[in-house]
Structure 1
Amino acid sequence: MFENDLIRIEIEESEVPWLKIFTQVERREFSECTAAEKSAILEALDVIEKEMLAYYQPFKINIASFGNYVPLVHWHIMARFKEDSFFPEPMWGKKQREGHLLLPSFDTFCEKVDMKLEKTLNAVLKPTAIVNT
């Protein structure tokens, strides 16, 4: 996925579309991030959410920031569907049913996000690398 000097975006393997944004520099709390890091994170959150809504048309987008297991600032962005295995619980909550989602290509979605982030974040900082996973 996308990477530059401030942030990197990784894929979380899941039945639902799920991306994670990490700072490149180890920081425990969002308040410790530089203004540029905060700007890059918020811009990436905005781009990913809008692309998920347009591409997948989910019931809801979940955005969360936890750092209990990974003490590094990071954000989870997930497209949620009433038919997914855990809805309305969080994806790490109690399974509600066997989900059988038929969704458009996740690879195509990631390519769209990558292109959009290149355009929007290039205005702030030129990406040093784009890594496909």
Structure 2
Amino acid sequence: MSHRTHILTAVDVSSKRLLNAWIAHAKAEPPNISKTYDMRIPISEDTIITKKLPISNPYSIPRTFRISSSRSDIVEVREEVVNINGLGSTTVTLLFHNVIRNPVRLEILIFVYNGESGQQEETIMLNVTYID
């Protein structure tokens, strides 16, 4: 967890008089990871690699969800908005772009948001290992 506090001021440049001041406090916490998947991606592959990721609706009514990646330069979500029936599930396609050329392990987060309120519903961690 991290905290930051900053003082912001507005000053009239001609009179050098203080017009207003604000204190901004920000607190950041790591997301609550609900699921973790291990994936192995060959670095020798020259095409985009696709993987399916299951997404569930825990509510008894139909919901719209918006899905995004913490590293969209590496993992793109094909279906960014999905409608899921009550207590139903679907899969979304993840596109792994061919940008990693060395064996490495990355943690990439997939965020699932309520499509109407924008509130975060779930965070899924992908442990992606790029292999020779």
TM norm structure 2: 0.32
The higher relative CO (CA closer than 8 Å, separation ≥ 6) is in 1
More helix by share: 1
TM norm structure 1: 0.32
More strand by share: 2
Q: Radius of gyration: which is bigger? A: 2
